[in-house]
Chain A
Amino acid sequence: MDTAVTAKKKWWDGGYSPFNVSYGKLMMWYFLLSDAFTFGALLISYGTIRFSSTSWPDPNDVFRSFPGMGHANLPLVFVSLMTFILIMSSVTMVLAVHAGHMRDRKAVAKWMIWTIIGGICFLACQAWEWTHLFHEGAWWGRNPFHNVDGTLASTNFTNFFFTITGFHGLHVTSGVVLNIIILANVLKGTYEERGHYEMVEKVGLYWHFVDLVWVFVFTCFYLL
């Protein structure tokens, strides 16, 4: 409705949001912006330490296991599955937002449930990976993996890995909790009464951001 008069509109004269979004959505964007810098700081400090090291463990040697496959050498396969799960749950989230625009309560609930399932699957995968690495002797302050050049590696590798994937996992966890709260409201009919499903859009923004961060974590830890 606003877009029709955009040409004549003076965005900064007051009376309406110069960003054409509600206060809550704008603040969600700003929160995500600040969170992007938090993750950026973590990843860049990881990069700085990696650049300052003469050698570093090869991710293809460290992350090469798959549940139920024993000692088979399968680099990247499990983490690709995790990436697929997270992208998929992002898709179901957009579909929930889309159903919200259509005011289709049942469809919103259905896609929210799929998103929550995706989030829980991702967390389960991460729990398995952490447990597996822990049994191999890796933890904060302990690094059993050698550098590419065969020298003994410092604990920087495991410290950064567990801190950053842990911080991301914490975000996924809070995202799942938020999604469950929103799903409860959808089922209760709160947004039907309110006349719009904007809350679904706001948690959707957060959920996509978590997916976005994973894209960078995936590149920095598993590919580079």
Chain B
Amino acid sequence: MEHTHTAEGHAHHDSSTKKIWRTFWILLAVTMVEVGLAFLHLETGFPSRVLLNAVFIGLTIVKAFYIVSEFMHLGSEIKNLIYTVLIPLLLFIWFIIAFLYEGNSWKNMNRDLKPGTPIEAVKAPAEGHGTHH
């Protein structure tokens, strides 16, 4: 940590240097929470897999926000620049949902339409729907 001291020794230990280190500690803390939760799950199985994954994805977005906003200074740019970078990224919402849905659907079809699967097993849910109408 000797470089922390040298930075402050340069007389410009102004607010931006402080902010950089604050961001560093946030990123480190979030990563340690993630690893800690992973270990907790390994030992006790406590946060269920689904809950754990949701927390991991949420924390990843928190880290991404801090890197882009603080380290890349996007947070202090004008709105025009922020929008021109962020709006195209909205495509990811469709991108992720569509493709993961597709993958899941493949898995189901592979299971249901495997050679040797009795026809009734496939038809049964479809007929169940039919009787409602």
Contact = CB atoms under 8 A, between A and B. Distances in A.
Nearest to B63: A215
Contacts of B10: 104, 107
Contacts of A44: 95-96, 99-100
A76 interface: yes
B107 A33 contact: no
A52 B56 contact: no
Nearest to B12: A102
B78 A208 contact: no
B85 interface: yes
Contact of B71 (A49, A90, A107, A223): A90
A87 interface: yes
A166 interface: no
Interface string A181-208: 0000000000000000000000011001
B80 A18 contact: yes
B81 A20 contact: yes
Q: Is the interface of B mostly helix, strand, loop or mixed?
A: helix
A87 B24 CA distance: 7
A97 to B, nearest CB: 8
Contacts of B24: 87-88, 91
Interface residues of A, number: 54
Q: Is the interface of A mostly helix, strand, loop or mixed?
A: helix
A118 B20 CA distance: 17
A21 B34 CA distance: 36
Contacts of A92: 3
Contact of B77 (A19, A48, A76, A87): A19
B84 to A, nearest CB: 7
B88 A11 contact: no
Contacts of B64: 212, 215-216
Nearest to A59: B38
